Amino acid sequence: MAVIFEAFKRADGSTNRRYGDTGLGLSLSRDIARLLDGATYATSKPEHGSTFTLYLPLA
C-alpha cells in the first residue's frame, strides 16, 4: 500500500485520465505529515473501501 503515497507518474506523458490516478494529494499529505513529525497510514478491505489516517504530534 505504500506505493499509493508516491507522486503520480504517467509513463507516456499524456494527460489521458482513462484509468484514473491518485494525483498528488496523498503524496503531499505524506510530505506535510513528515515535515510536522507525523505520519500517514492507509488500510483497505476489498468491497469495503479504504481508510486514510493522518497522525500529528500534539506539541
pLDDT greater than 80 at residue 42 = yes
Q: How far apart are CA 41 and CA 32, in angstroms?
A: 13
Is the pLDDT at 35 greater than 90, yes or no? yes
Q: How far is CA 1 from the centre of its chain?
A: 9
Among 36, 39, 30, 29, which Cα is nearest to 59's? 36
User: Residue 59's pLDDT band (boundaries 50, 70, 90)?
Assistant: confident
Q: From residue 38, give the alpha-carbon distance in Å to each of 23, 25, 30, 51, 54.
A: 21, 16, 9, 17, 7
**Which H or E run includes 29?**
helix 25-35
